[in-house]
Amino acid sequence: MGISLGLTTPVLDPAQIAEFHATGFLLVRRSLAPPMAATLQRWAAEAAALPEVPGRQRVHHTQCLKHHGHCLISGIERLTPFHEGFRQLTHALTSPAAQLLGAPAVLLMEKLEFSLPGHPGSGPGRDVDDGWAYYADTFVSVIVGIDADPATQGCLQIAPRRHRVGLQRARAPLTDAEAASLVYTGVALAPGDLLYLDAAAPYRLLSNGGPGACRRYRATFNRQTAGDHQVRYYADRHQNEPCEVGC
Protein backbone atom coordinates (compact mmCIF):
# COMPACT_ATOMS: atom_id res chain seq x y z
CA MET A 1 0.00 0.00 0.00
CA GLY A 2 1.55 3.29 -1.02
CA ILE A 3 1.00 6.69 0.54
CA SER A 4 2.19 10.15 -0.41
CA LEU A 5 5.77 11.44 -0.27
CA GLY A 6 6.99 8.27 -2.02
CA LEU A 7 6.66 6.09 1.10
CA THR A 8 5.64 2.46 0.80
CA THR A 9 4.28 0.51 3.74
CA PRO A 10 6.74 -2.31 4.63
CA VAL A 11 5.37 -5.86 4.76
CA LEU A 12 7.08 -8.63 6.74
CA ASP A 13 7.03 -12.30 5.73
CA PRO A 14 6.42 -15.21 8.17
CA ALA A 15 10.14 -16.03 8.46
CA GLN A 16 10.94 -12.45 9.46
CA ILE A 17 8.16 -12.42 12.05
CA ALA A 18 9.46 -15.70 13.50
CA GLU A 19 13.02 -14.32 13.67
CA PHE A 20 11.79 -11.24 15.55
CA HIS A 21 9.96 -13.30 18.17
CA ALA A 22 12.95 -15.64 18.58
CA THR A 23 15.69 -13.01 18.95
CA GLY A 24 13.87 -9.88 20.15
CA PHE A 25 14.80 -7.84 17.10
CA LEU A 26 14.76 -7.91 13.32
CA LEU A 27 16.91 -5.92 10.90
CA VAL A 28 15.58 -5.43 7.37
CA ARG A 29 18.09 -3.84 5.02
CA ARG A 30 17.00 -1.24 2.44
CA SER A 31 13.38 -1.50 3.52
CA LEU A 32 12.72 2.05 2.37
CA ALA A 33 13.39 3.03 -1.23
CA PRO A 34 16.85 4.62 -1.87
CA PRO A 35 15.41 8.07 -2.73
CA MET A 36 14.00 8.20 0.81
CA ALA A 37 17.51 8.31 2.31
CA ALA A 38 18.14 11.92 1.28
CA THR A 39 14.58 12.83 2.22
CA LEU A 40 15.01 11.42 5.74
CA GLN A 41 18.23 13.37 6.19
CA ARG A 42 16.49 16.55 5.08
CA TRP A 43 13.60 15.93 7.49
CA ALA A 44 16.04 15.36 10.37
CA ALA A 45 17.75 18.67 9.61
CA GLU A 46 14.38 20.42 9.47
CA ALA A 47 13.38 18.95 12.83
CA ALA A 48 16.65 20.04 14.46
CA ALA A 49 16.09 23.57 13.17
CA LEU A 50 12.61 23.91 14.68
CA PRO A 51 12.51 26.49 17.51
CA GLU A 52 12.33 24.99 21.00
CA VAL A 53 8.91 26.22 22.06
CA PRO A 54 7.21 24.92 25.24
CA GLY A 55 4.17 22.80 24.43
CA ARG A 56 5.46 21.63 21.06
CA GLN A 57 8.19 19.06 20.36
CA ARG A 58 10.29 17.82 23.31
CA VAL A 59 14.01 18.44 22.75
CA HIS A 60 16.57 16.53 24.81
CA HIS A 61 20.23 17.50 25.24
CA THR A 62 23.41 15.91 26.54
CA GLN A 63 26.94 17.05 27.33
CA CYS A 64 29.61 16.47 24.69
CA LEU A 65 32.45 14.09 25.60
CA LYS A 66 34.97 15.94 23.44
CA HIS A 67 34.26 19.51 24.52
CA HIS A 68 33.41 20.13 28.16
CA GLY A 69 30.37 22.36 28.55
CA HIS A 70 29.34 21.95 24.92
CA CYS A 71 25.67 20.96 24.53
CA LEU A 72 24.43 18.41 21.97
CA ILE A 73 20.91 17.56 20.87
CA SER A 74 20.30 13.92 21.81
CA GLY A 75 16.67 13.54 20.78
CA ILE A 76 13.44 15.22 19.69
CA GLU A 77 10.12 13.68 20.75
CA ARG A 78 6.58 14.40 19.62
CA LEU A 79 7.42 15.47 16.09
CA THR A 80 4.45 14.04 14.21
CA PRO A 81 2.01 16.86 15.13
CA PHE A 82 4.45 19.41 13.68
CA HIS A 83 6.15 17.66 10.74
CA GLU A 84 4.19 16.14 7.86
CA GLY A 85 7.03 13.90 6.69
CA PHE A 86 7.55 12.17 10.02
CA ARG A 87 3.77 11.91 10.47
CA GLN A 88 3.43 9.98 7.22
CA LEU A 89 6.52 7.90 7.96
CA THR A 90 5.00 6.84 11.29
CA HIS A 91 1.75 5.99 9.51
CA ALA A 92 3.67 3.73 7.10
CA LEU A 93 5.37 1.92 10.00
CA THR A 94 2.12 1.10 11.79
CA SER A 95 1.34 -1.91 9.58
CA PRO A 96 4.55 -3.94 10.13
CA ALA A 97 4.37 -3.12 13.86
CA ALA A 98 0.87 -4.60 13.87
CA GLN A 99 2.19 -7.73 12.17
CA LEU A 100 4.69 -8.22 15.01
CA LEU A 101 2.17 -7.38 17.72
CA GLY A 102 -0.36 -9.76 16.20
CA ALA A 103 -3.10 -7.13 16.35
CA PRO A 104 -3.89 -3.61 15.10
CA ALA A 105 -1.33 -1.14 16.44
CA VAL A 106 -1.46 2.40 17.78
CA LEU A 107 1.41 4.82 18.30
CA LEU A 108 2.60 5.43 21.87
CA MET A 109 5.61 7.68 21.24
CA GLU A 110 8.10 8.68 18.57
CA LYS A 111 11.54 10.19 18.74
CA LEU A 112 14.24 11.44 16.40
CA GLU A 113 17.47 10.22 18.02
CA PHE A 114 20.77 12.04 17.54
CA SER A 115 24.20 10.55 18.17
CA LEU A 116 26.36 13.51 17.17
CA PRO A 117 30.18 13.50 17.37
CA GLY A 118 31.03 13.49 21.07
CA HIS A 119 27.74 11.90 22.17
CA PRO A 120 28.48 9.78 25.29
CA GLY A 121 26.24 6.84 24.41
CA SER A 122 23.88 5.11 26.84
CA GLY A 123 22.87 1.81 28.37
CA PRO A 124 22.55 -0.95 29.06
CA GLY A 125 18.79 -0.89 29.43
CA ARG A 126 15.44 -1.90 27.97
CA ASP A 127 12.62 0.24 26.67
CA VAL A 128 10.22 -1.21 29.26
CA ASP A 129 12.51 0.23 31.95
CA ASP A 130 11.20 3.69 31.00
CA GLY A 131 7.82 2.95 32.57
CA TRP A 132 6.03 1.91 29.39
CA ALA A 133 4.50 -1.10 31.19
CA TYR A 134 2.24 1.43 32.90
CA TYR A 135 0.42 1.94 29.58
CA ALA A 136 0.33 -1.54 28.04
CA ASP A 137 2.04 -4.92 28.30
CA THR A 138 3.58 -5.30 24.84
CA PHE A 139 5.41 -2.84 22.60
CA VAL A 140 7.33 -2.87 19.33
CA SER A 141 9.65 -0.08 18.23
CA VAL A 142 10.51 0.50 14.58
CA ILE A 143 13.86 2.27 14.20
CA VAL A 144 14.69 3.88 10.86
CA GLY A 145 18.29 4.37 9.80
CA ILE A 146 18.95 7.93 8.62
CA ASP A 147 22.77 8.02 8.58
CA ALA A 148 25.28 5.20 8.35
CA ASP A 149 26.42 4.23 11.84
CA PRO A 150 29.75 2.38 11.93
CA ALA A 151 31.06 1.16 15.28
CA THR A 152 32.90 4.43 15.92
CA GLN A 153 29.81 6.59 15.43
CA GLY A 154 27.22 5.62 18.03
CA CYS A 155 26.44 2.08 16.92
CA LEU A 156 23.47 0.35 18.54
CA GLN A 157 24.16 -3.00 20.22
CA ILE A 158 21.44 -5.50 21.17
CA ALA A 159 21.57 -8.60 23.39
CA PRO A 160 19.76 -11.26 21.32
CA ARG A 161 17.37 -13.79 22.84
CA ARG A 162 17.26 -12.04 26.21
CA HIS A 163 13.87 -10.35 25.77
CA ARG A 164 12.05 -13.11 27.64
CA VAL A 165 14.37 -12.94 30.65
CA GLY A 166 13.12 -11.09 33.73
CA LEU A 167 9.71 -10.18 32.34
CA GLN A 168 8.30 -10.49 35.85
CA ARG A 169 10.44 -7.42 36.61
CA ALA A 170 9.24 -5.43 33.59
CA ARG A 171 8.71 -2.29 35.67
CA ALA A 172 12.21 -2.41 37.20
CA PRO A 173 15.58 -1.63 35.55
CA LEU A 174 18.09 -4.36 34.88
CA THR A 175 20.16 -5.33 37.90
CA ASP A 176 23.95 -5.00 37.76
CA ALA A 177 24.23 -8.79 37.59
CA GLU A 178 21.77 -8.98 34.68
CA ALA A 179 23.56 -6.20 32.81
CA ALA A 180 26.94 -7.88 33.33
CA SER A 181 25.64 -11.15 31.86
CA LEU A 182 24.61 -9.64 28.53
CA VAL A 183 26.42 -10.44 25.28
CA TYR A 184 25.76 -7.91 22.54
CA THR A 185 25.48 -7.97 18.77
CA GLY A 186 26.31 -4.77 16.90
CA VAL A 187 23.51 -3.53 14.64
CA ALA A 188 24.90 -0.99 12.21
CA LEU A 189 22.10 0.75 10.34
CA ALA A 190 22.38 2.26 6.89
CA PRO A 191 20.00 4.89 5.50
CA GLY A 192 16.64 3.28 4.77
CA ASP A 193 17.20 0.21 6.95
CA LEU A 194 14.48 -0.71 9.46
CA LEU A 195 15.19 -2.28 12.84
CA TYR A 196 12.26 -3.80 14.73
CA LEU A 197 12.90 -4.03 18.48
CA ASP A 198 10.98 -5.79 21.24
CA ALA A 199 10.58 -3.43 24.21
CA ALA A 200 12.02 -6.06 26.56
CA ALA A 201 15.19 -6.61 24.51
CA PRO A 202 18.30 -5.23 26.30
CA TYR A 203 20.46 -2.83 24.29
CA ARG A 204 23.04 -0.10 24.62
CA LEU A 205 24.27 2.77 22.47
CA LEU A 206 28.01 3.22 22.01
CA SER A 207 29.58 6.65 22.23
CA ASN A 208 30.21 8.54 19.00
CA GLY A 209 33.95 9.02 18.66
CA GLY A 210 33.80 9.46 14.91
CA PRO A 211 33.53 12.55 12.72
CA GLY A 212 29.96 12.08 11.53
CA ALA A 213 26.43 12.21 12.89
CA CYS A 214 24.32 9.13 13.42
CA ARG A 215 20.59 9.87 13.44
CA ARG A 216 17.70 7.42 13.77
CA TYR A 217 13.95 7.78 13.93
CA ARG A 218 12.07 5.56 16.39
CA ALA A 219 8.32 4.94 16.52
CA THR A 220 6.91 2.78 19.34
CA PHE A 221 3.55 1.02 19.10
CA ASN A 222 1.29 -0.97 21.40
CA ARG A 223 -1.77 -3.07 20.63
CA GLN A 224 -4.83 -0.95 19.94
CA THR A 225 -6.83 -3.10 22.35
CA ALA A 226 -4.65 -1.79 25.21
CA GLY A 227 -5.74 1.78 24.41
CA ASP A 228 -4.38 4.91 22.77
CA HIS A 229 -2.12 6.47 25.41
CA GLN A 230 -0.06 8.93 23.37
CA VAL A 231 -1.58 12.11 24.84
CA ARG A 232 -1.37 10.72 28.35
CA TYR A 233 2.20 9.50 27.78
CA TYR A 234 3.48 12.95 26.83
CA ALA A 235 1.52 14.62 29.63
CA ASP A 236 3.17 12.24 32.11
CA ARG A 237 6.56 12.87 30.55
CA HIS A 238 6.12 16.61 30.87
CA GLN A 239 5.09 16.32 34.51
CA ASN A 240 7.74 13.81 35.57
CA GLU A 241 10.62 14.90 33.35
CA PRO A 242 10.27 18.53 32.23
CA CYS A 243 12.23 19.33 29.08
CA GLU A 244 14.25 22.53 29.39
CA VAL A 245 15.82 24.53 26.60
CA GLY A 246 19.56 23.82 26.42
CA CYS A 247 21.66 21.64 28.75
Tens of pLDDT, residue by residue over 201-246, are 999 987 776 767 788 999 999 999 999 999 998 888 777 765 544 4
- Amino acid type, 8: T
Position 103 pLDDT exceeds 80: yes
Could you give the CA distance from residue 96 to residue 36 in angstroms, rounded to a whole number? Answer: 18
Residues 6+ apart with CB under 8 A from 51: none
- Amino acid type, 71: C
Q: Which CATH superfamily is domain 17-49+58-240 in?
A: q2cbj1_9rhob like domain (2.60.120.620)
Model confidence over 109-163: pLDDT tens digits? Answer: 999 988 766 666 677 888 888 788 889 999 999 999 998 876 666 688 999 998 8
The answer to whether residues 191 and 145 touch, using CB atoms and an 8 Å cutoff, is yes
Could you give the CA distance from residue 173 to residue 89 in angstroms, rounded to a whole number? Answer: 31
User: DSSP labels for 11-28?
Assistant: ---HHHHHHHHHHSEEEE
Model pLDDT, residue 193: 93
All structural domains of the chain with their residue ranges: 17-49+58-240
In angstroms, the Cα distances linking 102 to 138, 139, 210, 221 are 10, 11, 39, 12
The answer to whether residues 74 and 192 touch, using CB atoms and an 8 Å cutoff, is no
Could you give the CA distance from residue 47 to residue 86 in angstroms, rounded to a whole number? Answer: 9
Model pLDDT, residue 192: 92
Position 6 pLDDT exceeds 80: no
Q: pTM for the whole thing?
A: 0.87
Position 166 pLDDT exceeds 70: no
Could you give the CA distance from residue 191 to residue 215 in angstroms, rounded to a whole number? Answer: 9
